[in-house]
Copies of this chain bind each other. A is one copy, B any other.
């Protein structure tokens, strides 16, 4: 239903055995990419996910490891015969930065639209899902993102009957349509129970722990955070360079009520992220030291209850 893949798990520079961190999500015919460093198009091909349906690329910030793969990705999309517009979302300056990078990808068979984030927290609504950007604390302006999918309430036959809603309208109302028939307007809530729990994925790299991140992480189904450093001796370095340690990420997960934590964005100097598995799990047991290509299909909770 909602497919999520962490295409790469590296920070700073791509390595022969570790692509740069990038998240791809597929939902309802749309594909969304968050960050696109050097090699992301190769990681995507390695995973076997098509670039063609990518509608939206979000950027956390403009450090090269998060955007250097964009020109190649745009050409790749062009070569896949994409003609529909592509939306780019990112910090202020996005259009200028992308304009510069497009010096080597000037001609594309599709339109690029830009949305620059101007607030500390900003919500973008799409077809059945929304993306929320939240500002974090890095060495340059940087945002995390949540992906949220709402789930309508269950169809309530008794309610529909008690309100005398014509049966022929039930299906359309249930699908979310509002129907006007003469003087009467029928709305979906007339046939539906209370909204049910939807899905939420929270993604954030390149930051110190912040309240905005703790808030965005609340009750998320999947929390994806950077674990740039694992060695406790590097805690001070993490503070200086405005990154998080694995332990700090696990602490956020523990307080968030999330179902699972995926760590990513490892320092290129960290050869064996797994070395810190036990230390991380001691803080939050459903933590995963992700490897490139880690993916999951998230579904709505069983609604039999």
Contacts and interface: CB of A to CB of B under 8 A. Distances in A.
Which interface residue of A13, A63, A105 has the most chain B CB atoms within 10 A?
A13
Interface in A257-275: none
Given A15-B42, A41-B14, A64 B71 contact: yes
Contacts of A69: 38
A231 to B, nearest CB: 19
B41 A42 contact: no
Interface residues of A, number: 30
Interface string A101-116: 1011100000000000
A39 B64 contact: no
Nearest to A19: B42
A75 B13 contact: yes
Which interface residue of A46, A64, A69, A79 has the most chain B CB atoms within 10 A?
A64
A62 B64 CA distance: 19
Given A67-B104, A100-B100, A105-B64, A76 B16 contact: no
Contact of A41 (B13, B62, B76, B96): B13
Contact of A14 (B39, B63, B68, B104): B39
- This protein's copies in its complex: 2
Nearest to A16: B46
Contacts of A42: 14-16, 38-39
A159 interface: no
Contacts of A104: 62-64, 67-68, 97, 101
A79 B14 CA distance: 13
A30 interface: no
A72 interface: yes
Given A14-B39, A38-B72, 5 more contacts: A13-B72, A16-B42, A38-B42, A64-B71, A101-B104
8 contacts: A13-B41, A13-B75, A14-B72, A39-B42, A64-B75, A100-B101, A101-B101, A101-B104
